[in-house]
């Protein structure tokens, strides 16, 4: 069975334990397997509060696929275009932080982000604000993304 089909079958098995009605598609793009789930009434169950469940599903599937294929498999789970809406929301947060940083000439921080969310904001700031930089500080749950004026970032020791 090819990798895409195996990913689809394994994902279906997991989802059947959670919800009844869904459509599932798997597409490969540059080595990343996009798992696209469409469901009418069960989206909140799969997404969870602040995306916690969708992140957990993604992590579980990464472990399952690593064990199945004997190598890491890059996947991105998406439910009812949640990732696109999430990206728009994150880009809005990036604009707010960038505007505040530029007007006050001081660093702004954003807390409570996953590594994926920090990456989206970092990429957005890098592409759209050449005079700003981003970096992360803290560890674990206390990790936060900082938007700062280029040249103001702390020097690494």
DSSP state, residue 72: -
Which positions ≥6 away from 93 have C-beta within 8 Å?
Answer: 110, 121
76 pLDDT higher than 80: yes
Class of domain 3-80: alpha beta
- Digit-coded pLDDT (tens) for 87-115: 999 999 999 999 999 999 999 999 988 87
pTM, two decimals, is: 0.73
CATH T-level assignment (fold) for domain 85-149: Ribosomal Protein S8; Chain: A, domain 1 (3.30.1370)
DSSP state, residue 51: G
Q: Which of 49 and 129 is assigned the larger pLDDT?
A: 129
Average pLDDT across the chain, whole number: 92
156 pLDDT higher than 70: no
Structural domain spans, the chain? 3-80, 85-149
Confidence of residue 23 (pLDDT cuts 50, 70, 90): very high
Which positions ≥6 away from 24 have C-beta within 8 Å?
Answer: 8, 11, 12, 15, 35, 36, 37, 38
1 pLDDT higher than 80: no
Share of the chain above pLDDT 70, in %: 97
Q: 131 is written with which tokens?
A: 């005079």
């Amino acid at each position: 069975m090819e990798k895409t089909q195996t990913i689809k079958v394994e994902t279906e098995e997991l989802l059947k334990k959670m919800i009844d009605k869904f459509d599932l598609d798997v597409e490969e793009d540059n080595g990343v397997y996009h798992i696209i789930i469409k469901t009418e009434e069960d989206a909140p169950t799969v997404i969870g509060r602040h995306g916690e469940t969708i992140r957990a599903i993604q992590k579980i599937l990464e472990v399952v696929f690593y064990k199945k294929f004997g190598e890491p498999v890059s996947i991105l789970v998406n439910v009812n275009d949640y990732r696109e809406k999430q990206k728009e929301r994150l880009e809005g947060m990036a604009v707010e932080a960038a505007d505040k940083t530029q007007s006050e000439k001081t660093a702004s921080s954003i807390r409570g982000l996953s590594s994926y969310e920090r990456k989206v904001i970092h990429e957005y700031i890098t592409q759209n604000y050449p005079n700003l930089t981003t970096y992360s500080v803290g560890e674990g749950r206390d990790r936060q993304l900082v938007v700062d004026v280029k040249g103001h970032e702390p020097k690494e020791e």
